[in-house]
């Protein structure tokens, strides 16, 4: 599976936008980009996924670079509840196991 690189930690203030970057320079054409997050003392939860085009859902937006070698998860207005570890994961069509890295720990201050 192709590898992803994320910053270890990021900080944000409440109600401000947050841009979480992910580099995946070895991504293949069939790899989907998935984001999961894990709140303290909980199991991971799905956030969003995409292949080539930018994606929006009720939780976040995913911006994918034109060459697909990087992507950015965008939280439009961070809340205290968004404080979590965010994982960027590549998943090809044939694979179903999620390979988690260390992720980015997001801290949100009021």
Partner 1 sequence: DAGVTQSPTHLIKTRGQQVTLRCSPKSGHDTVSWYQQALGQGPQFIFQYYEEEERQRGNFPDRFSGHQFPNYSSELNVNALLLGDSALYLCASSSLIFRSYNEQFFGPGTRLTVL
- Positions touching partner 1 (CB under 8 A) are 32, 34, 42-46, 49, 85, 87, 91, 93-103
Which residue number, 65 or 99, has a Cβ lying nearer to partner 1?
99
Q: Cβ contacts of residue 108 below 8 Å, gap of 6+?
A: 11, 12, 13, 14, 18, 78, 79, 80, 82, 83
Q: How far is the CB of 25 from partner 1 (least distance, A)?
A: 20
Q: How far is the CB of 6 from partner 1 (least distance, A)?
A: 10
Residue indicated by tokens 């995913």:
62
Which residue number, 42 or 53, has a Cβ lying nearer to partner 1?
42
Distance CA 60, CA 69 (A): 20
Q: How far is the CB of 3 from partner 1 (least distance, A)?
A: 13
Q: How far is the CB of 5 from partner 1 (least distance, A)?
A: 13
Q: Cβ contacts of residue 46 below 8 Å, gap of 6+?
A: 34, 35, 36
Which residue number, 93 or 110, has a Cβ lying nearer to partner 1?
93
């Amino acid at each position: 599976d192709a590898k992803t690189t994320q910053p270890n930690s990021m900080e944000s203030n409440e109600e401000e936008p947050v841009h979480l970057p992910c580099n995946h320079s070895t991504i293949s054409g069939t790899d989907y980009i998935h984001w999961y997050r894990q709140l303290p003392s909980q199991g991971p939860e799905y956030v969003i996924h995409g292949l080539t085009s930018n994606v929006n859902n009720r939780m976040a937006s995913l911006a994918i670079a034109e060459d697909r070698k990087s992507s950015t998860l965008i939280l439009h207005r961070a809340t205290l509840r968004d404080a979590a570890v965010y994982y960027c994961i590549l998943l090809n069509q044939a694979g179903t196991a999620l390979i988690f890295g260390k992720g980015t720990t997001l801290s949100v201050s009021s």
